[in-house]
Amino acid sequence: MYSEKVMDYFLNPRNVGEIEDASGVGTVGNAKCGDIMRMFLDIDEAGIIREAKFKTFGCGAAVASSSMATELVKGKSVQEALQVTNAAVLEALDGLPPVKVHCSLLAEEAIHAALWDYAGKKGIVIQGLKKPKEDIHEEEEELF
Ligand code: FES
């Protein structure tokens, strides 16, 4: 049912954790399944993502998706990171079952939310980046 890549990224997730004083932090959640994901990005002066970490309270596919997303954005420019969509995450994971596709969407939203936070802190506009949905409740915040 799950690809070997998904199982690998679920059982041995890369980049778990957080970045202190991150350039951008984004937290997103899916109201239906209740899973939540927080993404931390460290972005240098040239706008290149040097480090990416995540914390996910959710299903295995969400853990694998967020881990893969952090791998995919590392070394990319902010603009290039916008191309790390759920389709890109899905492809890199060799697919997910249809009922789990929304888990990869959460990874895309987490990247966007972290980039949005970065842009706000820097006072810049990232072309093509939309404001993320804010659906994280306070009690869920305590998980982190
Ligand atoms: Fe909702 Fe995976 S079941 S993120």
**Interacting residues of 99 by C-beta distance below 8 A, sequence separation 6+:** none
pLDDT of 27 reads 94
Q: Is the minimum distance from the CB of 22 to ligand 1 under 6 angstroms?
A: no
Q: What is the DSSP string of 31-98?
A: TTT--EEEEEEEE-TTSBEEEEEEEEES-HHHHHHHHHHHHHHTT-BHHHHTT--HHHHHHHTT---G
Q: Is the minimum distance from the CB of 102 to ligand 1 under 6 angstroms?
A: yes
**Interacting residues of 123 by C-beta distance below 8 A, sequence separation 6+:** none
- SS3 call for 29: strand
Average pLDDT over residues 83-96: 96
DSSP 22: -
Q: Is the minimum distance from the CB of 30 to ligand 1 under 6 angstroms?
A: yes
Angle at CA of residue 132, ends 110 and 90, nearest 5°: 40
pLDDT of 138 reads 54
Give the position, in ligand 1's atom list, of the atom nearest the Cα of 60.
Answer: 2
Average pLDDT over residues 30-49: 95
pLDDT of 132 reads 86
Average pLDDT over residues 129-138: 73
Q: Tens digit of pLDDT for each residue in 57-68?
A: 999 999 999 999
- The pTM (predicted TM-score) of the whole model is 0.93
Of 30, 20, 118, which Cα lies nearest the Cα of 66?
A: 30
Give the position, in ligand 1's atom list, of the atom nearest the Cα of 37.
Answer: 4
**Euclidean distance between the first and the last CA atom of the chain, given in angstroms as a whole number:** 30
